[in-house]
Amino acid sequence: GQQLNQSPQSMFIQEGEDVSMNCTSSSIFNTWLWYKQDPGEGPVLLIALYKAGELTSNGRLTAQFGITRKDSFLNISASIPSDVGIYFCAGNYNQGGKLIFGQGTELSVKP
């Protein structure tokens, strides 16, 4: 089946540092999404990308839909302790509604 390779698996950074994570696929995706999961909660949508090359920001978060439609990255600038959590990329590659998820990047921020 379709797979997304997300990296890194985990990150330990100092407060104030910038963070970058990415996802790649062997298949073309129509939509790329970035979700964040806080402990005990479900994934919450951060950014949605719908066009190849699209670059979108949401506060300190910036994400891009790769030109080849096979990759996406998420950057977090000036990290703060509340950025801690698991970040998932997800994509939709066919006409159906189901999402394919990456393995997640667990982010830890040291104050």
Partner 1 sequence: EAGVTQFPSHSVIEKGQTVTLRCDPISGHDNLYWYRRVMGKEIKFLLHFVKESKQDESGMPNNRFLAERTGGTYSTLKVQPAELEDSGVYFCASSQEWRGIQYFGAGTRLSVL
Q: Tell me which residues touch partner 1 (CB under 8 A).
A: 3-4, 6, 31, 35, 40-45, 48, 88, 90, 92, 95-104
Residue 74 and residue 77: Cα distance in Å, rounded?
10
Nearer to partner 1, 90 or 107 (CB): 90
Nearer to partner 1, 20 or 92 (CB): 92
The distance of closest approach from Cβ of residue 104 to partner 1 in the complex, given in angstroms and rounded to an integer, is: 7
- In DSSP terms, 49 is beta-bridged to 32
The number of CA neighbours under 13 Å toward the Cβ of 68 is: 9
Nearer to partner 1, 44 or 78 (CB): 44
The distance of closest approach from Cβ of residue 78 to partner 1 in the complex, given in angstroms and rounded to an integer, is: 27
Residue 35 and residue 111: Cα distance in Å, rounded?
23
The distance of closest approach from Cβ of residue 47 to partner 1 in the complex, given in angstroms and rounded to an integer, is: 11
Q: For the chain, give the number of residues.
A: 111
The distance of closest approach from Cβ of residue 57 to partner 1 in the complex, given in angstroms and rounded to an integer, is: 18
Q: Beta-carbon neighbour count of residue 39 at 10 Å?
A: 7
Nearer to partner 1, 48 or 77 (CB): 48
19 alpha carbon, distance to own chain's centre: 11
